[in-house]
Amino acid sequence: MRGWRPGVRASSLAALMTRSTWLTLAAMALLALCLAAAERFGNEYQVRLLHNVAVFITLAVSYHLINGVCGQLHLGPNAFITLGAYTAALLTLTPAEKAATFLLTPLIWPLREVSLPLAPALLAGGLVAAGFGVLTGFPVFRVRGDYLAIVTLGFGEVVRVAANNLQGLTNGPLGLKGLHPLDSLWWSWGVAGLTVLVVHRLKNSSFGRAMQAIREDETAARAMGVDAFRHLMLAYVLSAFFFGVGGGLLAHLITTISPGLFSFFLTFQLLIIIVVGGLGSTTGAVLSAVFFTLAGEWLRVVEEPRQVFGLMVPGIPGLRLVIFSLLLLLVILFFRRGLLGRREFSWAALGAWLSGGRRSKSRG
């Protein structure tokens, strides 16, 4: 929101600030009201879709922090999401449910007997993922670019192999079933709101600027006294935390998880979301996450058999992904800046845009 021209004096700036604060609060209240209404009157399908939207906002905005703000092509979100999903799931299931699930190899001891409410379980999921982030951050940030992409891509593979083999912890290929479904939209939307707030604040802080400086020219940033490793690690671990929490939510939304569930395809979806939204724009990540969750739902139709003018048209598996990958290819080849480039939403910019003057859209 740093779109002020030098001409704007401090006093009017303060007035504008309060007005945009009010507008933001009003918008949030409106959103809350819509969610409350949806929860009350919406059908199961609609509520599920709203959960999905919120989880994807969480995941896309965390991904945007490391990939868009810091400019590091991290390809392992699915690994962190899997960790968060398993951790949260193992903590919320009751001992009896766990005993019924782990038939071949019993679950290891402390986990066998604990059962926690959702909130601490989600937090634990985030912390486990963040811990994995701290451990892996050291080898990861010894390299950049292509190497970083491949190492992080490997995490998904390693986590999948581990989940398949550590029977006493994950129940192996059978996975976990019968998780308690999310009982309120506030879980997913609360987490999404928190993630957006943290990432937005961080991006606009001195630390976020340093991260963007690393993205633009790491050598120059280091010469200006920026400790690249610490800043990248911060973004990486923080995003890992939110991936973990998001994974916990996703697990309780789907209610059945297995080792291969969160494959590289999930990472690919997140990548499309942030690229199309504009690499580096939090607003873009949010809007694009909403759009793609809904579009993905609509596009599901092409993969299902259906009636067209009385004819039975068979569904075509894979077509949705063909469309998605073509879209990503086209965006990266021809509209590299995506929807918003690196611009962010601000009320001032919205006002100017609505009144027809597109000139003063804020940069940043």
303-332 positions binding another protein, by CB under 8 A: 316-319, 321-322, 324-326, 328-329, 332
Token duo for residue 349: 């910019």
Binding of another protein by 300 (CB under 8 A)? no
Binding of another protein by 25 (CB under 8 A)? no
**What is the spatial distance between Cα 71 and Cα 64, in angstroms, rounded to a whole number?**
9
Question: What type of residue sits at position 195?
Answer: T
Query: Residue from 198, 233, 294, 352 that binds another protein (CB under 8 A)?
Result: 198
Give the residue from 116, 122, 125 showing the smallest Cα distance to 84.
125
**What is the spatial distance between Cα 319 and Cα 330, in angstroms, rounded to a whole number?**
16
Half-sphere exposure (Cβ direction) of 274: Cα atoms closer than 13 Å:
29
**What is the spatial distance between Cα 192 and Cα 345, in angstroms, rounded to a whole number?**
17
- The CB-of-110 to another protein minimum distance in angstroms stands at 24
Q: Which is nearer to another protein, 19 or 363 (CB)?
A: 363
Binding of another protein by 19 (CB under 8 A)? no
Q: 265 to 284, contacts with another protein by CB under 8 A? A: 268, 271, 275, 279-280
Binding of another protein by 157 (CB under 8 A)? yes
Q: 73 to 132, contacts with another protein by CB under 8 A? A: 73, 75
Binding of another protein by 36 (CB under 8 A)? no
- Pick the stretch among 17-25, 121-129, 160-168, 239-247 that binds another protein (CB under 8 A): 160-168
Q: Which is nearer to another protein, 128 or 213 (CB)?
A: 213
- Pick the stretch among 89-97, 180-188, 207-215, 346-354 that binds another protein (CB under 8 A): 207-215
Task: Give the C-alpha distances (Å, rounded to integers) separating 161 from 81, 128, 129, 328.
Answer: 15, 18, 17, 29
Binding of another protein by 4 (CB under 8 A)? yes
Token duo for residue 81: 């999401």
Question: What type of residue sits at position 222?
Answer: R
Half-sphere exposure (Cβ direction) of 86: Cα atoms closer than 13 Å:
29
